[in-house]
Structure 1
């Protein structure tokens, strides 16, 4: 190693960590979205002259900054509610962030190794490879679809692109904008800024397009937020008080609303154990002509499911398909189960629900259901919609306490409403319980960490956005095309060899050889 360059390398690594932190600040709850464009521009500049090996380190530093700040709430789940000691929880969280950081590290290496040469590579190739690094996180080891850059731009002019190509198309626009800014300043090609501005102007104009239409049928809904914390939820002594609380909060709503919704695992026991109570609640709801829907664990001969059940006022049972590792199932269970308490959490042996389940039918409305983590998978959500008029997601964000995790989760849920042109009902145990309109705007909500009821109206919608028809595939194909274009238009290898020979010759002359 050249020791003279060590301070510069250390400063560059620190700068990349700060860029990753800046991207976290662009998401909810901070909302400083311009920071992520600046961070992308700085990242593009840092990789301008970097060797692939150095790019690997810079990309990893960026990833560590991003995930170390952006998913720090994992520590709360492991330590506060996973019964793990602080040092061990810290080690698990650090290892998780280091592992995730390897994805942008690989993206930086690929960019500098195969795509960077030429202006097309520095802009188009850069944007493509970084977006493809987001795509890798959709499926790698069951996927961790968090902190996609496009989410930070749901309240900006770029939001108009979401119904066209989803959150990943927004991410692509941000990467292109940052690269254009960087290369315009570096090479004085200010036309790139004009091009980037065009993406924003077009995105703003797309916001005026009504991709879907209301069907005229209105539902008055009540979403119950009991605010039972995770450390008390599964205690045996909390079971009967929980049933009493839901009874007390629900009784005044019957007959006053078309549907009452309880959140994910509202009843902390299996359906068959709580059946007498649920039958009684369903009978009262039916007599009041009110539909009642609840999240509850469900044991059947086929397995144990994290489920959403229409008790009365409609039909349907939905079993969660995308399970959370360690929270709902334990990978390598035969090795890990019982090793420490974190690997033996309550209700951590769920079975995956079957694919392509039908929408719920609630008061003659077709409702697409999603439980917690599922709503952050955009293409999964589209695949499961099956022409539904409304989106319903129930969640238990109590696992993350008062951290930034639940705010990020809600921001991602809002994006699903914008992408699909459907209103979204979100019922949670501790918050955020809300309704989001077809443009991704919050139309009603209640405060988090307070027991309360969200009472409002929603309307079903029909019609398709382009994203509903095609999903993310056009964006992925575009990215692969841009990456291929950058790779095939880079400088010929012969020119590189000549340049290297000339550099070696100059170096030899300077040494007097």
Structure 2
């Protein structure tokens, strides 16, 4: 046969089965998932990335799948969490080579989470039969959940976040972001199954059958598109659920809001000579807005310990009271721990003027607010000695703040990215409030991802969220997860708007992620038991 005849007999797209392309597919799939999220919002890429992953793992061993998962993690976290470099380089004052090395180490370490997920999928659940359409989404979601709390957690870059504006958003109030992630993975896996079961598509791609017949067992004819139909039903249900109102107006009188965004340079924020100037900037920006119901200053806007700022707080509180306004501001708070007797410092929020209450942050950021293995790392490089990196976590089940007579549940920066933490604390709140200092992210995609996660929390709990930041993006988010007002980044401004006190609770607010996690666990248990029985039956026949 001549070379021309050989080329003519080759199937279209047969190059897709080359080994080097399979290795490349996994980091590409990771990047695709980053592109499905804010600020790119190319959500179909997230679903197609799952199809690509499933195809790449077909026929691979568990050991090779472990490496595939790690490569996927490199692509996902290397592109989606690249803002870690900004924090280390710009504010940890680490030179570029060291900042790059530390960022690479962080990405390489956290990539082991998807690596473990891929390995377990192939080791325990076959990973290349029709039931993979269900088992892969289940183990993926449980892997995301594990990553959200292990070693304080890194609940970032969940696939479901890309669907704030798709029909799947209707599931957020019931199953939360993990439920949406499950449906995304199911959709991508269903496409993979359909492509591999359709003889027409297989002939066109030049593929071998992905599901070889089992010897000695009669094969029932199955509809290749069955899982696709099932996924489509979930999308339609999501669209219908999105029309349901889980919350209601408790008061038709609007709450007027002013979020002060002072854009204080991070390198000046904690310098002793700039503290009074910082407070003066906030007071000057707030002056035209006294009389509004709520004025918000962002995370640690008052850069003085609470017990050292009593005169400042009293002066601001008097002015707020005179104007019937509530001021809610971030401030570091020092107190004696009643259990240990030692002095502790908290990253806190206070409500003064017409409001009252104080809240101490519970979920601290590693290295930014506390240093793991402190005795070993302190002093090695400046990054491990960042200002105010010795905070202590607040106690659970703290009281909500009050704005006038209304209950407000506060969250400081990183706390808003924990779905169940937000739901557990939002029970009686009439609206939610989060303050942050996203200066640590610089001009990266980090602040945009952070805002997207706050939008999902509003949708999950059907509550307004007011977000106040130092340098953007300050925003008012509706109970539907839409941005009603927002500020520009890196400007000194005041974002104003109106919100409403809401009542009612969503299923997610009541049950959290428990239903979807139990469903995923049940899927894996049933599948594992069926595989064990099949293995035992095969051994008896042998």
RMSD: 1.7
Structure 2 spans left out of the alignment, 5+ residues: 1-16, 199-223, 338-343
Structure-1 residue corresponding to 2:275: 239
Q: Which residue of 2 aligns with 1:361?
A: 402
Mapping 1:123-142, distance limit 5 Å: 123-142=133-152
**What is the distance in 1 between the residues matched to 2:462 and 2:303?**
33
Partner of 1:258: 293
Give the drift of 1:277. 2.1
2:216 alignment partner in structure 1? none
- For structure 1, the 5+ residue unaligned runs are 1-6, 502-513
Q: What is the Cα deviation at residue 237 of structure 1?
A: 2.8
The aligned counterpart of 2:188 is 178
The equivalent residue for 1:477 is 518
After the TM superposition, which parts of structure 1 deviate over 3 Å for at least 4 consecutive aligned residues?
7-10, 117-120, 494-499
Q: Contact between 1:82 and 1:342, CA under 8 Å: does it hold in 2?
A: yes
The answer on whether the counterparts of 1:12 and 1:58 sit within 8 Å (CA) in structure 2 is no
- Selected match of 2:451 from 406, 410, 421: 410
1:9 positional shift: 4.1
What is residue 215 of structure 1 aligned with on the other side?
250
- Rounded to whole Å, the distance in 2 between the matches of 1:358 and 1:193 is 46
Give me the TM-score of the superposition, normalised by structure 2. 0.88
Q: CA deviation at 1:496?
A: 7.2
Quote the offset at 1:114 in angstroms: 1.6
Tell me which residue corresponds to 1:467: 508
Match of 2:177? 167
**Is 1:258–1:290's contact at 8 Å kept on the other side of the alignment?**
yes
Aligned counterparts of 1:164 and 1:117: Cα–Cα separation in 2: 29
Structure-to-structure mapping, 1:108-507, within 5 angstroms: 108-116=118-126, 119-188=129-198, 189-216=224-251, 217-255=253-291, 257-302=292-337, 303-490=344-531, 492-493=534-535
**1:299-357 deviation line (CA, Å, top 9, x unaligned):** 11222110000121111000000000110011111121122111111101011101100
CA drift of 1:118 comes to 6.8
CA deviations over 1:358-410 (Å, ceiling 9, x no partner): 11111111000000000001111111123111100000000000100110011
Matched residue, 2:25: 15
Q: Indicate the SS of the match to 1:49.
A: coil
1:439-474 deviation per Cα after TM superposition (whole angstroms, max 9, x unaligned): 101111111111111111111111110001111011
1:504 maps to: none
1:163-200 deviations in Å (ceiling 9; x for gaps): 00110000000000000011011112112221111111
How many residues of Structure 1 are paired with residues of Structure 2 in the alignment? 493
Q: Which residue of structure 2 lines up, in the alignment, with residue 93 of structure 1?
A: 103
Q: Is the 8 A contact 2:133 2:227 kept in 1?
A: no
Secondary structure of the residue aligned to 1:315 is coil
Q: Which moved more, 1:485-494 or 1:50-59?
A: 485-494
**How far apart, in 1, do the equivalents of 2:96 and 2:349 lie?**
34
Cα deviation, 1:120-168, whole Å, max 9, x if unaligned, reads 5311111111111101101111111001111111111100000001100
d(CA) in 2 for partners of 1:18, 1:40: 11
Once the two structures are TM-superposed, the CA of residue 495 in structure 1 deviates from its matched residue by 7.8
8 Å CA contact 1:37, 1:174 repeated in 2? yes
- Which secondary structure does the structure 2 equivalent of 1:393 belong to? strand
1:8 deviates by 4.4
Q: Quote how far apart the aligned CAs of 1:266 are.
A: 0.6
Relative distance call for 1:118 and 1:70 in structure 2 (3 A) is: closer
Match of 2:207 in 1: none
Tell me if structure 2 keeps the 8 A contact 1:118–1:490: no
Residue 41 of structure 1: aligned partner:
51
Q: Deviations over 1:78-112 (max 9, x none)?
A: 11101112111111111111111111111111111
Superposed CA offset, 1:193-226 (max 9, x none): 2111111111011000001101014211111001
Q: Secondary structure at the match of 1:104?
A: helix
Q: Distance in 2 between matches of 1:136 and 1:8?
A: 34
CA distance in 2, matches of 1:78, 1:150: 28
Verify the 8 A CA contact 2:144 2:158 in the aligned structure 1. yes
Matched, 1:104 2:139: no
Change (3 A) 1:362 1:318: same
Residue by residue over 1:465-496, the C-alpha shift from the partner in whole angstroms, topping out at 9 and shown as x without a partner, is 00011110111000001112222333823687
Distance 2:375 2:417 in 1: 29
The answer to whether the 8 A contact 2:70-2:115 is kept is: yes
Distance in 1 (alpha carbons) for counterparts of 2:269 and 2:19: 49
Q: Distance in 1 between matches of 2:40 and 2:380?
A: 38
Q: In the aligned structure 1, how far is the partner of 2:84 from the partner of 2:465?
A: 26
The C-alpha deviation readout for 1:396-446, integer Å capped at 9, x for no partner, is 000000100110011001100000011100000011100101110111111
Separation in structure 2 between the aligned mates of residue 9 and residue 72 of structure 1, nearest angstrom: 28
**Comparing 210-219 with 38-47, which one deviates more in the overlay?**
210-219
